[in-house]
Copies of this chain bind each other. A is one copy, B any other.
């Protein structure tokens, strides 16, 4: 039931981009340095985020990435789902999954559905803007190394 580094690193990177929203393209190198992530690995994560329309890229020198929408339009849920797939405790309750072949009632599936709904409820309610507000209220404005959260 753990998030992988894909989701955790990706969320950190997106938050970093959100803090720089409106500042023009931000290079992966600078994000990787601030967040202590391998650039090579970060490249792998930013690609699906771009394909999902969450960030846009500028190629070439002085290029980089920026959010494709305002921070209040991007939820933690869409970020994590893009990188990890559905945040469902089992495949049988994931949105894109066909249902089990069992015709009769499944008492465990009901439980997994409730877990899934509750997780979605949390992550879909939090946007990057909420994270920014939280950051400005509670941190000392230290952008570097949000947390390893291994």
Residues of chain A from 76 to 120 with CB closer than 8 A to chain B in the complex:
76, 84, 87-93, 100, 102, 104-112, 114-115, 118-119
Determine if A89 and B1 form an interchain contact, defined as CB atoms under 8 angstroms apart. Answer: yes
Q: Which of A95-150 contact B (CB under 8 A)?
A: 100, 102, 104-112, 114-115, 118-119, 121-123, 126, 131, 134-135, 138-140, 142, 145-150
- A15 at interface, CB cutoff 8 A: yes
- Name the residue on B nearest A84 (C-beta): B1
- Does A68 sit within 8 A of B, measured CB to CB? no
Q: For A1, A8, A126, A135, which residue has the most chain B Cβ atoms within 10 angstroms?
A: A1
Interface size class of A (residues with CB under 8 A): 35 or more
Residues of B within 8 A of A51 (CB): none
* Complex Cα spacing A15 to B105, Å: 14
- B142 adjacent to A104 (CB under 8 Å): yes
A residues contacting B by CB (< 8 A) are 1-3, 7-8, 11-12, 15, 76, 84, 87-93, 100, 102, 104-112, 114-115, 118-119, 121-123, 126, 131, 134-135, 138-140, 142, 145-150
Q: What 8 pairs between A and B have smallest CB-CB spacing? A: A106-B147, A105-B139, A118-B118, A92-B149, A105-B138, A3-B89, A1-B87, A90-B149
